[in-house]
Structure 1
Amino acid sequence: MAATAARLLGARVRAGVVIGAGRAPNGDAPSALETFVGGHPVPTPDSERAGRRALAIAGALAAEESLLVLLSGGASALMAVPADGLTLDDKRRTTERLLRAGADIQALNAVRKHLSSIKGGWLAARTRGPSRTFAVSDVVGDDLSVIASGPTVPDASTFADALDVLRRFGGVDAYPKAVVARLEKGDRGEVPETPKPGDARLSRADAAVIGGRRDAMEGAAREAAARGYQVVRLEDPVVGEARTTAPSHLRLVMARVAGVGRPVCVVSSGETTVRVTGRGKGGRNQEFALAAAEPLASLGVPAAAASIGTDGVDGPTDAAGALVDSTTIARAQTAGLGPPGRYLDDNNAYAFFEALGDLIHTGPTDTNVGDLQVILFS
């Protein structure tokens, strides 16, 4: 996104930052753009350096200059500036705890915005001139205040909302004292709220979503049709806890393909969650696939299912997701792996699929529009 914008705008770009996940951004960055390698899904010191540099650039703009912000999934972690009184470690520990507790992105980012000096509209509030944001969305519903935690748009959530999230996901005692203290001060009106709808500081800020999960579905559907598949698209987002959502999703799929000619490809998208209680390794797409393995085998028909993170990263692993088919359970038994439930209980789907050679590795894709599920029947 940054390389294309810089090419189109040319000499009009005088300063900026480009932040990649885990490695330097692809493409040749113009000399006017500083590159950073941030962390994901939790921020790193480079995430903070990148965020502070972005704030500095925004604050230095003249009133007649414009701020262009290009966002994609993961930017909440890639660009981090802790609010006054907080450390990066406070934010990291809070993010990790919420992720392990299974918080969805709306809940997670409501907290993030109230622990930040750049999220929740604060980036755009820093500049004196107009700002224009283009976002590629990994958020179900494409809410601009949730994508990247909304650094350039008004935030309707409150400190009270953030406190409620902590209470729902482990209780306030599970989080750093400094984090809880800030949220409680904010709830009492002792700390300024994030810029709200109608805030004059954001009157010259404009934002639009230019891509999202339906684009991934369209691409998958197009490729399946080109290979001779009848295509069924499920437009409702796939959400909820991965291990419980997968079986119910498969039941929905079977109802939708009844009477449809074979071969058929069912395409869906969304973003599930995982509640981490075990000590294993995996991600939401791997858990979704693993939870679908036994229901898929019980169908008694040739079938395969894949769940994939479109950014090429599923949880804290090197895999994008995993593949299951009608033979997965039988192959697992032959390999002596034991039942899928054992691996799900330990959040260890990665080990299961690694043993079978059924992990999906794409490497970084340089985009993020959520997760994609593809189910095939022959």
Structure 2
Amino acid sequence: MTRTTSPVARALERIERLDPALHAFIEVWPREALDREREAVARGLPLGGRPFAVKGPTGIRSYAARRLLAAGGVPVGATSVPGPGTHWQTWGRGAGGRTVNPWRADRTPGGSSAGAAVAVAAGMADVATGSDGAGSVRIPAAWCGVFGLKTTNGLLPSPDRSGLASAGVLARSAAEAERWLRHVLEDGGEPAAPESVPSRPAGARPGPAGSWPGSPALPLPVVYSDDLGFAAVDPEVAAVVRAAVDRLVAAGTVRLLERDAGLLDPVDAWTAVRGGAPDDPAAVRVRRANDERLAALLGGGVLLLTPATPNRPHGHEGPGDLYSTALTWAFNLSGHPAASLPAGFTADGCPVGLQVVAPHGGDLRLVAAARTLEDALPAARRPPGAGEQ
């Protein structure tokens, strides 16, 4: 293996060539990465020196990064997150400036795992670690046209004291994400089987666990909602996702069930929990009602499908009064694993994500199901200018 042909060398070349325009990275570690790649290959580690990126300045110390390093993954750099006072304006600030969407430079990539999604979309890393407290993996995955998973709350260690944020992964596809996720979840040298994943977050009330196998039988039972009963969704975004769902139905991949997918708007409950008031009576009522509705909705291993965001990527000036998190943060409150996978594009060239929500603890089952959905949808494209790896 030579520097000109190794996966890490190719990733570093793409970073050098593409990142001056995209600003996905705050730090890049070329020397360390090449050294780690050689060591991983020499030791015959399972990931064999495959390159990954980490979220933000502390990402290299995350549990997921440590597990990937132990399996022979190679961190090539730390990706951008929102800078001080720039949360809505940029959603990510790399070493050279604000992070831009690889599909349209005048739009944000989403956040807060902004650079992570851009790095994966542009092929500057095979996968990237992320974290998701309100949609911070799923929103940038949707807007950059990649796969993004928020794991079951409490499944992996998280520094977030509110309990809302969960570790996540971004990848070009669900199949690629599954490979890395299994290494993060492995126990005693063997990947964790789906049945060994905790069925509920710590302290949560009992509820039904997912029942479909690792290679799910078709058609998958699903419920579709374009607004969860409360969100104001861009009609074109909803139409793109609905067309993807119709394609899945026509292919025999999913079977639509008639179940009520309406939830209570979680905005005030999420804000109360994030602000340190989880026992606020109004927040408790909303969470209890939504937990009960989701338990009934997802019973028997049913999947919930929705748009990942109510809007397309907004400009760098911000979204105005619209909450891009409207369809994602309910599942940070409830703790369910949820993913976004590419569903198509709006007429102005913006990617749209299809959100898939599964029963608690069904993370590997969710990724397997997402892989099946991907197989029935058009293959994800590379952003303009990114070329092929």
TM, length-normalised to structure 1: 0.28
Larger radius of gyration: 1
Which fold has the larger relative contact order, with Cα–Cα distance below 8 Å and residues 6 or more apart in sequence? 2
TM, length-normalised to structure 2: 0.27
